[in-house]
Amino acid sequence: MLVENPKILSAQQMRSERDRLVAAGRKLVFTNGCFDILHRGHVTYLTFARNQGDALVVGLNTDASVRRNKGPNRPINNQEDRAYVLGSLRMVDYVVYFDEPEPKDLIAAILPQVLVKGKDWAHYVSGREVVEAHGGRVVLADMVEGRSTTNTIERIVQVYGKKG
């Protein structure tokens, strides 16, 4: 049985934590994703995001959301396991689930001062309007070439083959 990770909060709890951080003069950074099979690209990205402020909250797609976005065979790891692993990382301060197609409502509820997305999403950053309207900023992160969950899954299939 997994021990509960105290970094996993509801949106309401995260808003209270955000207000506490702001009152203390600290800057909250938000990013989001599936983070299905954690790899070097994820760690590099999350480290970059955390370095944009004083605390990092990761909006984590629920299992149902991942299936809608990535197909019926994903996620590989369930949301509780993905949240636990993310919450165990030094650079991640908080994890909040979201089930919607994009995190704009969660971002509006939390109101982070910094919103980080990968440059592969430069064409559309969900929540940009809300963050900028409240005086925050959007930062685009470089991606680590050749590092993705899809590439990892393809490599596993290549090496071990499809069973059954």
Distances (CA, A) of 93 to 30, 32, 38, 56, 144: 10, 13, 17, 5, 22
pLDDT for the residue numbered 9: 95
Q: Where are the alpha helices (DSSP H) in 71-146?
A: 79-88, 104-110, 128-133
121 or 67, which is more confident: 67
Chain centroid to Cα 154, Å, comes to: 22
Residue-wise pLDDT for 46-61, tens only, equals 999 999 999 999 999 9
Residue-wise pLDDT for 108-153, tens only, equals 999 999 999 988 878 899 999 999 999 999 999 988 776 777 778 7
Q: Is the Cβ–Cβ distance between 115 and 30 less than 8 Å? A: yes
* Homologous superfamily (CATH) for 11-160: HUPs (3.40.50.620)
- Grouping H, G, I as helix, E, B as strand and the rest as coil, residue 114 is strand
Q: Indicate the range of 2-11, 65-74, 90-99, 120-129 predicted with least confidence.
A: 2-11
pTM of the model: 0.90
Domain boundaries, the chain: 11-160
